[in-house]
Structure formats: structure tokens, C-alpha cells
Homo-oligomer: A and B are copies of this chain.
């Protein structure tokens, strides 16, 4: 790989950040070392994601690692450590000061996808019997030491049980002698350590909060999750869902970072599963070989008909699965969705059927493409389209419910099931219509 020295020097931090994913590891190191000032380098380093934190840091000699590692907040150190190879982890933790080591070890005990794995152990706490002006000078002293200010001040008792919360604004606006317990909001929105990050993302979106405190089963405060970390989670979850819709297993790394075999491992299994499912279409069509032999013209419309079923199925399943993910549709809406999709499927099928009829009738009448019985053929195509589109719409909208009932993930399983189901059903529906309408004419 030819080093691209010239273009990487003299870039602004923003330009470099945009270019970052396309660079090789060596180019990244070179660009990083060439940044103009220490401050710029530090700001840039902090703004990178855990993957790149690990990549840069692990290439540094051990004595250089310490300073960079200590720039990061404990939850970011944890993410970095999770990206590093297992044999490096202890050495990395060893470079933190003893207090941070304890924090990081405590956080490492949580699963990455839990609220516990997202939270920061540094938050601002006061006691309920402080006066507002005491709380403010206490917070000023604390800020000079370790814990961050943030958006909210949490009120805890001696056992660290969460009693209430107040915003800086409320604290500032309070009369100097008012007691914290009288101005705090009791019963705040909280999360448990084991809460799933996706669920947590929904709670942030619903309540428009800047941070949510994480408590254990005894109500003791363990840390806070801030909305900027949740932003990454929401984007990550959306990416996973989109990739599952596309019939790929979630990549978990940026597209360009996934190697050739890694990429195959994410794509080949679903493609093979779909392929094996689709083999049923060949089996189904074998039953109609005699009909095709008698009326070859029937074969011409097979792709058109099954793809229409597939498209309407993918519309319906996309809408329902996304609505489920956003909490707009839940299991109890089954019948309501069924009624809606039944009507929609019939209407969509009628529209496509009408277009199909016109297409066959026009070609048949003007170009004489389909022999003397072209109107019957047109009706067969139109009728099959209504049936296939209706079937696709219903299968696409109801399968997510069934998968949800079975506790399977609708996003990853619906697309392949719907595709196979609809294609096989499309073949059967089409040839059944043909057998009825064309008997005595073409068949």
C-alpha cells in the first residue's frame, strides 16, 4: 500500500474524521502523529469511537498509553477494553489510577448491551437535608475533584439509595435556604442494571431526558446513562435492523472494516437458507409441468407474479416490524392490523391486477403475442395478482406477530420466511387460477 503522506497532513480535524474510516491503520497513525497541537490531538482522540481508541492505543508503546487512556471517561475506557484482545486487557487496566481501576472493573462486570454496560459511575450527588446554597458550594468543591457536573443532581441517602433528582436549573432557581428535599422531584424515571439498551433508548425518546439514573434492586444508585451514549445505541440498533431486513446478519463493525471471510460468514448463511427455501418453488412448479408444456405462455408471467407477491410482502413486513420496534404496534393490535392489511392487500392487488390485465390484453390484441385466448390469460394473470398480493400482504404483516409470540426476533426472521412462503404460494395460486380459467381453452 503506497503511503499517502501529502494529503493527510494539513487536514482539519473534521476533514480527518470524515476520512478516518477509509484509511489504513498505518495511515491513521501517521495522520494522528502529524496533527498540529497536543490539544487538537487530544480532542480528536476523545471524539473517536471505541474501535479506533483501541486501534490507536494498542500501537503506542506502553509508556505512551497511560496518558491517553486517562483522557477517557471510565465508560469509554470500558468500551476500549472490550475492543482490545483479551491478553491486553489486564495491562490496560493496570495503567489506570487505583480509583479508576475499581470503577472500570465494576463496569466490566455488566453485559455490553445492558444499562449497566452503558452507564458512567460518575454523577453529581447531594444529601436531602442540604440547603440549596450549601449544595451549590458542595458541588463546586466536588467539581474540582472528580465527579462530573452533568445535567441533573441526584439526591441520595447514606446507603446511596436514590431519593430524588433535581436539575441544575431548579437548584439555581431555588431560594438559598430551601432544603434539597423540598425542591427535588421524587420518584424519578430510573433504569435497572440489567435493562436492555434498546428498551432504554425508547425510554429516553419518550421522556426527553438528558440522563437516566441506574439503580439496583434495593434502589441504590449505581451510575447514570447519558443521552449522548444512547444516541450511538439507537443508531446501532437501527443499523442492525436495516441489515436484518436486507437478509444479512448484523455486521457489528463498519462495512469497510469487515474482512472477506467475515463478510461471507455474515451473508452466505442467510442466502443459503433462502436458497434452500426457494427450492420449494422448483418442487411446486414440477407439479404444474404438464400445464406449462401445454401452454408455454403461462411461464412468461411467473417472475412478474411471484415478485409482486414478494414486494407487497416486504412492504407489509417492513411497516409492521418497524412499528413494533418503535412501540407503535403491540401484540394486542393483531386483529386491528389484520383488518387493515386485508383491506390494503385487496386494494393493492386490485390495482396491480388491473394494470396486468391491461398489459396482457393490449399486447394480445395489438401484437397478437399470446394467441386467441389472450383475454382469458389476462384474467388469469389479474386474478392471480389479486390473490398473490393479498397473500403477500397478510403473510408479511402477520408473520412478525407470530414470531413475536414465539419470542423470536421479527426483524431477522420475517424477510426470509415471507419471501419463501410468498414465492411458493405465488406459484400455486397462479397455476390454480390457470387450471380453473383456462380449462378447455389453453389447457
Residues of B within 8 A of A344 (CB): 260, 263-264, 267
Nearest chain B CB to A16 CB, angstrom units:
12
A275→B172 contact, CB < 8 A:
no
Within 8 Å of chain B (Cβ to Cβ): is A6?
no
Residues of B within 8 A of A268 (CB): 347-348, 351
A228→B210 contact, CB < 8 A:
yes
Q: Which residue of B lies closest to A369 (CB)?
A: B286
B275→A299 contact, CB < 8 A:
no
Residues of B within 8 A of A144 (CB): 172-173
Known: A238-B242, A243-B318, A245-B318. A351 touches B271 (CB 8 A): yes
Interface-lining segment among A96-104, A157-165, A324-332, A435-443: A324-332
Nearest chain B CB to A382 CB, angstrom units:
12
Q: Roughly how many angstroms separate A169 CA and B139 CA in the complex, as a whole number? A: 9
B260→A340 contact, CB < 8 A:
yes
B205→A231 contact, CB < 8 A:
yes
Q: Contact mask A19-49 → B, CB, 8 Å, 1/0?
A: 0011000000000000000000000001100
Partner of A308, one of B235, B275, B347: B275
A256→B336 contact, CB < 8 A:
yes
A282→B256 contact, CB < 8 A:
no
Within 8 Å of chain B (Cβ to Cβ): is A303?
yes
B254→A323 contact, CB < 8 A:
yes
Within 8 Å of chain B (Cβ to Cβ): is A427?
yes
Within 8 Å of chain B (Cβ to Cβ): is A320?
yes
**Which of A247, A255, A264 neighbours the largest number of chain B CB atoms within 10 Å of its CB?**
A255
Q: Roughly how many angstroms separate A239 CA and B318 CA in the complex, as a whole number? A: 10
Q: How many residues from A make CB contacts under 8 Å with B?
A: 117
Interface-lining segment among A59-67, A87-95, A106-114, A288-296: A288-296
Q: Roughly how many angstroms separate A148 CA and B230 CA in the complex, as a whole number? A: 23
Q: Which residue of B lies closest to A343 (CB)?
A: B260
Nearest chain B CB to A276 CB, angstrom units:
7
Partner of A140, one of B139, B172, B320, B332: B172
Q: Roughly how many angstroms separate A311 CA and B271 CA in the complex, as a whole number? A: 7
A272→B352 contact, CB < 8 A:
yes
Mark out the residues of chain A between 285 and 322 whose CB falls within 8 Å of any chain B CB in the assembled complex.
Answer: 285-286, 289, 292-293, 296-297, 299-304, 306-308, 310-312, 314-315, 317-320, 322
Residues of B within 8 A of A140 (CB): 136, 172-173
A-B contact pairs, 19 of them (CB 8 A): A17-B206, A18-B327, A151-B151, A209-B228, A242-B322, A246-B318, A248-B315, A254-B326, A256-B323, A256-B336, A260-B343, A275-B308, A279-B359, A282-B303, A293-B296, A307-B310, A307-B419, A310-B310, A311-B419
Nearest 8 CB-CB pairings of A with B: A246-B318, A238-B238, A149-B169, A143-B172, A255-B323, A143-B173, A281-B303, A254-B328
Chain A residues within 8 Å of B, Cβ to Cβ: 17-18, 21-22, 46-47, 136, 139-140, 142-144, 148-151, 167-170, 172-173, 201, 204-210, 226-232, 234-235, 238-239, 241-243, 245-248, 251, 254-256, 260, 263-264, 267-268, 270-272, 274-276, 278-279, 281-282, 285-286, 289, 292-293, 296-297, 299-304, 306-308, 310-312, 314-315, 317-320, 322-323, 326-330, 332-333, 336, 340, 343-344, 347-348, 351-352, 355-356, 359, 369, 389, 419, 423, 427
